[in-house]
Chains A and B, each alone.
Chain A
Amino acid sequence: TNPGTNSSNTEGVLNVGMPNGPQTENNNPFLNSSAASSLGYRRLLFEPLAMVNEVNPTEKPKPWLATEWTWADNYTKLSLTIRDGVTWSDGKPLTAEDVAFTFQLLKANPGLNIDSVPYDQVSSSGTKVDVVFPRSQFVNQKKILEQLIVPKHIWSTIASPTTETVKTPVGSGPYTLKSFTPQTVTLAVRDSYWQELPKVKEVRYTSYSDNNAQTTALATGAAEWSFVFIPNYEAVYTSKDPEHYKLWFPPVLGIHGLWFNTKVTPWDNPALRRAVNMVINRDDIFTQGEAGYFYPKVDHITGIPLPAGASYIAPEFKDKTVKVDVEGAKKELTAAGFTFDGDKLKDPSGQPVTLKMTVPSGWSDYVTNLEIIKDNVSQIGIEATVDLPNADAWTKALDTGDFQAALHWTNNGPTPYDIYENIMNGALYKPIGEGGINGNYGRYENPEATAALNDFANAPDEATRTAAMHKLQQIHVRDMPVAITSAANAGGQYSTKNWIGWPDEANPYAPAQPTLENALDVVMHLKPAA
């Protein structure tokens, strides 16, 4: 038997696992490259101002270090009230000054400001903090509220915060770092905390070297909480202990889909893109490529994941889902001047239509998805191939527009804005051959769409925003620059053997992913099983 797993029962230990490979002692909460971020334990050491539930983005954020916040001047000014009675793990009290200092730190060190929030003026007095921004931060609300706060008395002494590995992290969270090894990081609960102390006395973050090892750990119970892609999860994971082994992968507002290069004939023709969108078998992709859970199926015509984005759907698209419709697709094509030569599809100029889709060679789920799409499009006479360059070449190809079609993802956010912004923002447009962008890989150029995006981000009123959002949906449905197949997820695998209280379909209070901001909220909810 494995003593490592046994002991967790008795000692109130929670075993978290991530498939991220060995770690190096680095607890800098600002840097994504630190072990604290990679494994997610920074979320238990440091705390945000508020918790945003991505699974249900319309829900009001849960106050955390800030008890209250108000936006003013069309989201260019934020006033925060900081909670009283919070102490750092070294005993010093947490004040508004610490919060202000954190924002100033980000402003002074662009390297730390991973979200690139444009902080302008930051001031604090008493329990109040005021932050002023140069432009509307409507779409950045979540990022700002989720910012982890660090103690001024420690960080002001750090000469170079960007190259600081923070060996002894001092935070306001309920846990402190107990021990660090490249394999396992152990956190222990503090003596005092501004809330009721969590039931989990110790959290162990183990880093497994890859998905296989992580899956095995989940299956054996060595890891109780994780976020990993498991092919055929029933066979490999849940069947080992159906009563306790659970997974919950709610969709969030971000997508994966087949991006077309809209500047390459014949794929510059929206009718062709729409036709392809109509024949993609999303069920196969979901069950075979995404193992029936990982990236939830998106079959709404607007590409917005449901139910997370339900409130944003334009009325005309309500309940409009895409089903495989080969005949419809063919009709659409012939209407647009395409012809069929026997089985083969010819574009209006008479050229046979082929589709070269690229995906990095090692990405098994994407490759599987493309194999499925390849099969699907052959039904409308398109001869497709799947090209498997290496990840770097692929990244470069997308960056410079040197591709026909590729599976890729978008950013996610609290609204569908991030999805559309990534796909259609003209500000990100670069001609084929030029690169250096992060979005609009399909070279989609439509001033109308760009204007709608700007409206949504900067509009002073809700009505303009709604109108802009509906506009974006119409453009998407019409032009279909990306055939969206799946949603991004915020899920996780967990075991209810030792701990209960996890978020799930019935109680979606937070995403189930152990590295997201809500991880602390999840741990606070956990109770020993029976």
Chain B
Amino acid sequence: MTTSTSPSASGTTAEVVLEADGLTKHFPVRKRGRELLSRAVRSVRAVEDVTLRLHRGRVTALVGESGSGKSTVARLLAQLYPRTSGAIRLHGEPVDTKGGKRFRAYSKRVQMIFQDPFASLNPVHTVRYHLTRALKIHGNAGTNAAEQEQALVDLLTRVQLTPPERYIDKFPHELSGGQRQRVAIARALGADPEVLLADEPVSMLDVSIRLGVLNLLRDLKERLHLAILYITHDIASARYFADETFVMYAGGIVEGGDSETVTQRPAHPYTQLLIDSAPDPDRPAAEVKDGGTGEPPSLITPPSGCRFHPRCPHAMKVCPEKAPPRFAIGDDGAAAGAAGAVGDGAHFAACWLYGDLSDADRVKLRREDGR
């Protein structure tokens, strides 16, 4: 494997590789009981109007509550699910493939690492099979056995499964979770993609192994200029490894921007709740504020307007009425721009707190506590 196959290694880091615009996904729900006779179609609104850009040589983190649609976004971007609406553009070209040749061409450029390394490796195949297939399909296996072997060894070395001979002929069940996760990463790399969609690639690992995998991802980003989507529950790791961080809540992106900014100065009430809830040994326990309770919303009948409003301590009259657009946030954490006009990489939040509102709209729905 050589690095020369990847496009101009020195290009601007801001080049957009993969772009999602207004991505929406609804899953139809099986009916039950009396509903069998009704005509109403119910669906899980798993992803609603998500706009997202992945840049060359940058890691974009996606954090958020579980079930908020992070994996679904990744699968949509990998074209594994048909989307309900919205557009996906690869280098500005709209893509819409259902399978066949065009899908394979797409999959060569956009690869996904699945959330669960225990499930995403076929138990009946060896590491060698998994990796050889990835190489062969995308023509990276070389022309003879020796070249193929070399490519395999390269891949394994790259994910630090060394010495490669020790792992190459193992079955998944003979590997530890961390090793599996690295095989899954190696498989994705075997296609020599431009975009890597990594869905919680380290969730199952203990901290020391986790660190190794994350360092690998950073290394890939830096050496091969991959665009990486990094989905995680571990916000601290997003801070460390991602250039940009987006926060999802109930199917929508509620905040985004530079990782350091988002994690240190969260603007959206949900992000604030999330950051506050994250365990942090450096923080005296007394400092932890009560982040509010309440269940995650149903995605079948989501709350109207801003989906966070039933749990939001700052909810205002406008919140249940209109879904908030993205508002740019200034460096001091105050409102800084008009809705929708958010520059690439700039900090934004989809929350009326930062919008231009009439006083009537600003009427609080409940007594503000704490903050």
Is A–B contact present in the complex under a CB 8 A cutoff?
Answer: no
Residues of chain B whose beta carbon lies under 8 Å from any beta carbon of chain A: none
Residues of chain A whose beta carbon lies under 8 Å from any beta carbon of chain B: none
